[in-house]
Structure 1
Amino acid sequence: MISLATVRERWSAFLGSFVAVALGVTVVTMSALMLLSGGTGVPERLAGAPVLVRAPTGEQTGGQFAEPRPWEPGHAEQLRRQLADLPGVRAAVADRSFYAQLPGIEQKKGERQGHGWSSAALASYGLHDGRPPTRRDDIALARSYGHQPGERVTVLTADGPHRFTVSGTLDGPGYFVTDARAEALAGGVRVIGLALESGTPVAQIAAAAERVVIRADGGGEVLTGESRDALAPQQDEMTRWIGGQVLTAMAALSAFVTVFIVSSTFAFTVAQRRREFGLLRTIGATPKQVRRTVCAEAMTVGVLGAALGAIAGSALAPSVAGVLVDAGLQPEGFAVRSRWWVPCAALVLGVAVALAGAWSASRRAAKVAPMESMREAAVDEQPMTRRRWVAGLVVTALGLACAVGTALADSDTMVLLGLGTATGLTAGLTLLIPALVRPVVGALTRPLARRPGATALLVRENMRTAVRRTSATVAPVLATVTFAVLITSTVQTTETADTDRQAAAVQARTALAPTGTPGLSDAATEEAGLTRNAMLSTTVYGGRGQSALTAVGVGEGFPQLYGHPAPRAGSVLMAESVAAAHGWRSGRSAVVTFEDGRKERLRVAAVLGDEEVPYQLVLPRAVVREHDPSALADVAYRTGEDALPQLGSVLRAHEVSVGSYASSAEAEEDRLVWIFTLMLVAMTAGYTAIAVASTLLTATADRAGDLRILRLSGATCGQALRAVAGETVCAVALGAVLGMAVVIPALTGMVHGLRESLGVPVEAVIAWPWVIGAVGGCLVLGLVASVVPAYRLLRGPAGRPDARA
């Protein structure tokens, strides 16, 4: 009852914790619902087959997604025949896919595919008008593309544009040609779909197909029902993985920062209520009862905030999922599936987080002696304990050690050490703030001491006297400035350095880049005269676990571009990390599987540094084209003096600088990273804004006596408000100074490390708009949270000079 009455009467002191818990549980509930919602459903073009057999998947690392390794051609046909002979199977169709796109239509990646007409039997849609393709130049395509049967259309393929006659239109996406034409344009077979006779049990056919696959040497996986969504485009899988990382980070950050805010709020509240706890001890309360009182207050706030957060999270999850889809962090067709136990678990988590945040403060409250009830002064005589000194110095030293390590680390550990620098220095300075307040505030407010008038002197001495209040205000500002500025500056510095590295690695004048297509066709590079300098991209499979490896086919111009001899027929160049991971060495052989399912034994001609070529394997161009008819060139470089000829609009290519291509090649990934960055910064700033507002609101609400004394001393209402505003401005300035003191060593160490690892000049890019935004936001919020309550107090009965205590 005491706890409930305290929360009701001192609601402003608990408002920050309540908002933090409610927001944290909201984020956790939304994230959990979206993470558990699964995929986007079975692809339309395969949804008509109740049983699908997929080629075995190799090992894939986080963020790297590739299609399954194709079966060998002979094995694929043998497996298809065995599946077709099963009782109840009407047809077994080997699906072959190749790149196809209408030049004037921007399409999603999953729709830029052509197939043989037999694969149409696997789709959930069929012909809308016309007839199936029967001649070599026939094509059936989606009616949404705006063409009618009988029209002539130009379709881009890997070897160039081709003229087709529209034989029919479809109710779904894709391009369908004759099976013979598809076999010539496509690589290997990865999926075999089973069309069943009417009334045949799906489970029976799936079990029979499983036995056939087990007996087969090439392996495979039988998919039925919702498990068929595993055949969604791999780009969707990567998008889901990125979205999952974002949601996981949001949930983890919410839980961590909620504990931080609740802990800070209750610590400040306990410090202000020492007389109250002393009175409780005087009338006979035991330390255990005091501790239970504080924990009960935290539980009350936690239950109310978590309940609101669980309801809000469940209601907002579908809308937030739509925003993530629009932003590219979830694939098209993603939908949230409700689960009743998720908000219940989030509610329990919210209460647990609130109790965890208040536990330390409750222990501190239990140590308050009965004599504290006689305490009148608000001077913090000893704000730093020996334990806090040791912890602050040790954590700060660890942060500085991480900064030094960042300057000497490789690119893989640089980000972790940079995060360790920021976390260590932020935590260390937060612990040391009470010791820094008086000297630093004295230095920052020295100009105020020289000004005539009592207001400036009052601001200076109030901040130096009320160390705990000043520290509680400075800490969240420090965290806001540090993380907002460091995260954005790190991302911009890294992106700029990576672009400079890629541009410096290629010795070329300009680059021919694709326009609105996933790559350059052979016709485009031939028309531009750059076939010898084209980077023909493909995927091969090999090594331990048959991992998917990015590979490129290069021509005679490769030595001039990258300074290494071009690989000859039967040989391969590979990145150092790939060679180490799979046990390949220079002079030895490596067995790889190509896109058509065929295997080759290649001699490792040389092992290159990971930063020398932006691919894992380098192969002769002729080998790549032989095994992957649908391969496209990522880029083609111009090294000569002659300008490129004008390419027709059908070839969809344009000339850009090497630096521009390097920055645009990762544009989509950089966009997602930047969205991720902004979301984390927004969450961090939002939480710390809650802490700033809550601290100042609580501190101002408890200063009614101070403000009354000011009025009794002759101060006007305006002078008192200027004093409160001056304290807020100085506290925000102190937090900003300490925040930049954290950012500078962290960013300096990262810049030095990037210079050493990339071998190119790297300059620190400080996101000044974010510096101004973070500091300005804290200042505006702080002024509102302190001046407005002070104005209400001064205009109320407690603020009149004739008021009595």
Structure 2
Amino acid sequence: MLTARRSAGAFVAVAVGVALVAASTLLLASGRPQVPDRLARAAVLVQSPAAHSPADPFPPTRPWSSAVATELAGRLAGLTGVVAAVPDRSFYAQPLVEGRPPAADGQRQEAHQGHGWASSRLGGLRLTAGEPPRRAGEVVVDAALGLRPGAPVTLLTATGTQPYTVTGLVDAPGVHVADEVAATLAPGVHAIGLLLAPDADPDRVAVAARNVVGDDARVLTGADRGALEPREDARTRWIGLQVLTATAALAGFVTIFVVAATFAYVVGQRRRELALLRTVGATPRQVRRMVYGHALAVGAAGAIAGLLLGAALAPVLGRLLIDAGFEPATFRVRYTIWPVAASLAAGPLVALLAVGTAARRAARVRPLEALREAAAEQRPIGRPRAVTGALLVAAGVALGLATATADSAQDGANFALYAVMALVTGATVLAPVIVGPVVRLLCPPVRRRRGGAIGLLVRAGAMTATRRTASTAAPVLLTVAFAVLVSGLVQTSTAVYAAGRLSVVNAGWVALPDRAPGLSDQAVAATPGAAVLPTTVFVNADAAPAPIRPLTALGVDPAAFTAANRALTVLAGSLAELRDDDTVVITASAAPSSGLPTEPYPVVFADGERVALRVVAVVTDDSLPGDLLLPRAAVRAHDSSALTSAVYLAEPVDPPAGARVVDVATWAAEADQAEDRLVWFATLLLIGVSAGYGGIAVANTLLMAAAGRAADLRLVRLAGATRRQVVRLVAAESALVVLIGAALGGAVAFAGLLSIRAGLAEQVGAPVRLVVPWPVVGGVIGLCLLLALAASVAPTWRLLRRRAVTEPAG
């Protein structure tokens, strides 16, 4: 039924869709947690007890205290086959170059970490020059810093700058100090590595280790040791997983949409051929099988081509994801079986799903009715199609209401995406009915004047061939709807969050880290203001089987914090009582009961020590960017690596080493800068998928339309129109199609953005200004228009030139 030319559009759509699915699934399959290089030589790793947090998919583990870790390591070292049991200690330490931390570009977390020299055995780290550190003030550093043994170096630690002497060099980021110094700087231990004898069986050693540690640890071997990868890498990998999943899902949806539109258009064009087949005896079932068979062939061929393309693109995309921050530097693409099988199955499955409606429509063609039908088809849509479209629109409206009442921005964004999918599909199904009123609105009747004949023909053609107009406008509708929704969502939510941060801070300036993960105590002392020193504490630590829950505690000066925080609302007690190291202020959700608790509030600190705190006040949940308030001295006493996230200032000051001072508006805009960069990259990726597919569909549909209208265009030429006038007619028709699709797509996206604005306003409790991404709107519509003109005018001009050569001029 379909020639290779008519099948090309569907083949390209399937191939591109499968390529995206293949690349995405290969990247997803490769995104397994990796064993950190510095722990790779430890065949068995013992991890401290896991914690659980609904708000954080990668919570930290509850540390052992130094005494517990030492005692546990001694017992593990006595197991058969174990050569050494090494507690791994990590703390913040960063070398300064010319008085400042090195440039942050390309740095990994290890560049900000210090370890005891004993930990170097867990990764097989060896000196390239010099000797190990043996006493306080000695350090081994990365050879990439350009230092030599015996040279002085200044380390920026949580307390401030400290002078050290380089005793050795290694080919790895980070610094290593004497084990006694590391025990002071990092008393809390999260892992113990076991070095085994050459003939030892890791699985047997793991079983013996589990008998030693019981329920107070996890014993890991093989690939399971990837659970100890840095939390930042795990979070980055998780973000990449969400982006790849969204890309694959959108690619699948758009592929089905484009292929369905392609087959629907082709079936509409070939109604007379189908009628002839029915006339010579073909049954509806045979016609349906023919359409399905062709779709299966196109899907299978597209799947093979897409798989090869996706497999070739996967390493390139993997490198782009690493550079963009969606995958950690340790990410590597691995070719496994299930992505290949899924991609090969995706092509035929997508094609069969997409062609279902077209096959049923082809089977319903009546021989005599189709043979009598005029070239300009004008049939109302059937009742099943009308019901389906109405249900899809209703589902989109319901999802829009869910967006407006969502409890979180993430849920709202998901609901909005599903709502637009439903509305786009519903609008496409109902498009033959919608096109007429839209054309009347956009193209009112014109009077005869210079160029009026073309306007009359364009309007009449769109009005009398609503199915053809709807099919060619559908890809533009899809492209504009998703591009405007995604970009508008990002811009609106970014502005809201920045305004929300400004509304709760009473300060004119903010001191922020510069090329460092946080501010040291020395930097805080040089920038007097309201400082926030965050740390992680753990509750329910001894209340088995209740889960261990991590909480964010903020070390503050109560008076300064109260003055700088406009959102602070005390429900019970007084912040003035937050003085002693055993006092705490908790949020209402962290309180075990309403009112001021009288029972001690036990927590485990970063050093593994369990302390019963006295609750002196309870505040509302939106009062704090965390769960607890502690005296700053209490946080520093138990967490020697805690770094201050920000200092809120009334006046600007000269920034010390590792700090910079910005105005509060800049701070509000930069607070989520890293996340905003990732969001924008994901936005561009999703817009690229939808706009790329839209371009393919627009070009494909209009190319088929131009080829199918050869007889109509020849008739216009015989009526006296010049070639230039015919080309102008085709260009005007293409522009009208783009305008119709853009109007419908913009309306769908605007409905989604209104729902998002309502949801954000509900969450922040204040009016939200809707940000319409006009540059994106203009760019996407311009792209669609350019592709539409190229796909329709070029073949028309070629067709007319060919006729001019073969026929005498008249």
1:438 aligns with 436
Looking at structure 1, the residues matched to 228 and 755 of structure 2 have their Cα atoms a distance apart, in angstroms, of 44
2:710 aligns with 704
Q: Comparing 457-466 with 545-554, which one deviates more in the overlay?
A: 545-554
Q: 2:557 aligns with which of 543, 555, 558?
A: 555
- Letter in structure 2 aligned against 1:85: G
How far did 1:274 drift? 1.4
2:20 aligns with 27
Q: Is it true that 1:695 corresponds to 2:695 in the alignment?
A: no
- Letter in structure 2 aligned against 1:243: G
Q: Is the alpha carbon distance of 1:643 and 1:657 closer, same or farther for their aligned partners in structure 2, counting shifts above 3 Å?
A: closer
Looking at structure 2, the residues matched to 351 and 398 of structure 1 have their Cα atoms a distance apart, in angstroms, of 28
- Letter in structure 1 aligned against 2:430: L
Q: Is the alpha carbon distance of 1:794 and 1:590 closer, same or farther for their aligned partners in structure 2, counting shifts above 3 Å?
A: farther
- Letter in structure 2 aligned against 1:745: A
1:657 aligns with 663
* Contact 1:584–1:590 under 8 Å retained in 2: no
Q: 1:258 aligns with which of 250, 255, 259?
A: 255
Q: Is the alpha carbon distance of 1:712 and 1:610 closer, same or farther for their aligned partners in structure 2, counting shifts above 3 Å?
A: farther
* Contact 2:51–2:60 under 8 Å retained in 1: no
- Letter in structure 1 aligned against 2:507: A
Q: Is it true that 1:517 corresponds to 2:528 in the alignment?
A: no
Looking at structure 1, the residues matched to 387 and 709 of structure 2 have their Cα atoms a distance apart, in angstroms, of 32
* Contact 1:514–1:652 under 8 Å retained in 2: yes
Matches within 5 A, 1:267-416: 267-412=264-409, 413-416=411-414
Matches within 5 A, 1:373-522: 373-412=370-409, 413-446=411-444, 448-449=446-447, 451-452=449-450, 453-522=452-521
How far did 1:571 drift? 4.3
Deviations 1:618-656 (A, max 9, x none): 3222221121111000001113xx542x234xx211111
Matches within 5 A, 1:79-118: 79-104=72-97, 105-106=102-103, 107-118=107-118
Looking at structure 1, the residues matched to 61 and 298 of structure 2 have their Cα atoms a distance apart, in angstroms, of 51
Give the unaligned 5+ runs of structure 1: 1-5
Q: Is it true that 1:683 corresponds to 2:689 in the alignment?
A: yes
Q: How many residues align?
A: 784
Q: Is it true that 1:778 corresponds to 2:798 in the alignment?
A: no
How far did 1:737 drift? 1.6
How far did 1:799 drift? 9.2
**Aligned-pair identity (%):** 45
Deviations 1:274-315 (A, max 9, x none): 111111111011111000000011011111111101111122
Cα RMSD over matched residues? 2.4
Deviations 1:179-219 (A, max 9, x none): 222122214111111223454343332332222122xx5x2
Q: Tell me the SS of whatever aligns to 1:446.
A: coil
Looking at structure 2, the residues matched to 456 and 420 of structure 1 have their Cα atoms a distance apart, in angstroms, of 38
Deviations 1:409-429 (A, max 9, x none): 433543244334423432333
Deviations 1:223-246 (A, max 9, x none): 233332322211111111111111
- Letter in structure 2 aligned against 1:205: V
1:647 aligns with 655
Looking at structure 2, the residues matched to 460 and 440 of structure 1 have their Cα atoms a distance apart, in angstroms, of 11
How far did 1:585 drift? 7.2
Q: 1:762 aligns with which of 768, 775, 784?
A: 768
How far did 1:484 drift? 0.2
Q: TM-score, normalised by structure 2?
A: 0.92
* Contact 1:514–1:634 under 8 Å retained in 2: yes
Q: Is the alpha carbon distance of 1:317 and 1:162 closer, same or farther for their aligned partners in structure 2, counting shifts above 3 Å?
A: same
How far did 1:604 drift? 5.1
* Contact 1:12–1:697 under 8 Å retained in 2: no
How far did 1:578 drift? 5.4
Looking at structure 1, the residues matched to 604 and 806 of structure 2 have their Cα atoms a distance apart, in angstroms, of 86
Q: Tell me the SS of whatever aligns to 1:350.
A: helix
1:202 aligns with 202
Q: Comparing 478-487 with 446-455, which one deviates more in the overlay?
A: 446-455
Q: TM-score, normalised by structure 1?
A: 0.93
Q: Comparing 719-728 with 188-197, which one deviates more in the overlay?
A: 188-197
* Contact 1:552–1:615 under 8 Å retained in 2: yes
Q: Tell me the SS of whatever aligns to 1:783.
A: helix
* Contact 1:493–1:765 under 8 Å retained in 2: yes
Deviations 1:411-449 (A, max 9, x none): 354324433442343233323321222222122122755
Q: Is it true that 1:787 corresponds to 2:798 in the alignment?
A: no
Looking at structure 2, the residues matched to 643 and 172 of structure 1 have their Cα atoms a distance apart, in angstroms, of 38
Q: Is it true that 1:595 corresponds to 2:606 in the alignment?
A: yes
Q: Is the alpha carbon distance of 1:750 and 1:603 closer, same or farther for their aligned partners in structure 2, counting shifts above 3 Å?
A: farther
- Letter in structure 2 aligned against 1:559: T
How far did 1:560 drift? 1.1
Q: Tell me the SS of whatever aligns to 2:165.
A: strand
Q: Is it true that 1:750 corresponds to 2:756 in the alignment?
A: yes
Matches within 5 A, 1:572-611: 572-575=584-587, 587=597, 590-603=601-614, 608-611=619-622
1:213 aligns with 213
How far did 1:173 drift? 2.2
* Contact 2:557–2:632 under 8 Å retained in 1: yes
Q: Tell me the SS of whatever aligns to 1:592.
A: strand
Deviations 1:443-482 (A, max 9, x none): 2122755543422211111111111110011111111111
* Contact 1:520–1:653 under 8 Å retained in 2: yes
Q: Is the alpha carbon distance of 1:346 and 1:408 closer, same or farther for their aligned partners in structure 2, counting shifts above 3 Å?
A: closer
2:547 aligns with 545
Q: Is it true that 1:52 corresponds to 2:45 in the alignment?
A: yes
Q: Is the alpha carbon distance of 1:482 and 1:341 closer, same or farther for their aligned partners in structure 2, counting shifts above 3 Å?
A: closer
Q: Is it true that 1:119 corresponds to 2:119 in the alignment?
A: yes
Deviations 1:710-737 (A, max 9, x none): 1111111111111010001011111112
Q: Is the alpha carbon distance of 1:595 and 1:427 closer, same or farther for their aligned partners in structure 2, counting shifts above 3 Å?
A: same
- Letter in structure 2 aligned against 1:120: S
Looking at structure 1, the residues matched to 619 and 242 of structure 2 have their Cα atoms a distance apart, in angstroms, of 31
Looking at structure 2, the residues matched to 503 and 190 of structure 1 have their Cα atoms a distance apart, in angstroms, of 37
Looking at structure 2, the residues matched to 583 and 17 of structure 1 have their Cα atoms a distance apart, in angstroms, of 62
Q: Is it true that 1:633 corresponds to 2:639 in the alignment?
A: no
* Contact 2:509–2:652 under 8 Å retained in 1: no
* Contact 1:37–1:336 under 8 Å retained in 2: yes
How far did 1:757 drift? 2.3
How far did 1:610 drift? 4.3
* Contact 1:70–1:595 under 8 Å retained in 2: yes
Q: Is the alpha carbon distance of 1:193 and 1:718 closer, same or farther for their aligned partners in structure 2, counting shifts above 3 Å?
A: same
Q: Is it true that 1:237 corresponds to 2:240 in the alignment?
A: no
Deviations 1:648-696 (A, max 9, x none): 4xx2111112222222222111111111111111101111222211211
Deviations 1:548-607 (A, max 9, x none): 33322111311112234534544444455556xx88875265433221112233455555
How far did 1:700 drift? 1.0
1:527 aligns with 526
Q: Tell me the SS of whatever aligns to 2:430.
A: helix
Looking at structure 2, the residues matched to 394 and 342 of structure 1 have their Cα atoms a distance apart, in angstroms, of 34
Looking at structure 2, the residues matched to 623 and 232 of structure 1 have their Cα atoms a distance apart, in angstroms, of 29
* Contact 2:51–2:61 under 8 Å retained in 1: yes
Q: Tell me the SS of whatever aligns to 1:100.
A: strand
Q: Comparing 594-603 with 783-792, which one deviates more in the overlay?
A: 594-603
Looking at structure 2, the residues matched to 571 and 378 of structure 1 have their Cα atoms a distance apart, in angstroms, of 84
Q: Tell me the SS of whatever aligns to 1:699.
A: helix
Q: Comparing 116-125 with 714-723, which one deviates more in the overlay?
A: 116-125
* Contact 1:584–1:604 under 8 Å retained in 2: no
Q: 1:671 aligns with which of 674, 677, 683?
A: 677
* Contact 1:484–1:770 under 8 Å retained in 2: yes
2:71 aligns with 78
Q: Is the alpha carbon distance of 1:568 and 1:320 closer, same or farther for their aligned partners in structure 2, counting shifts above 3 Å?
A: same
How far did 1:162 drift? 0.3
* Contact 2:49–2:61 under 8 Å retained in 1: yes
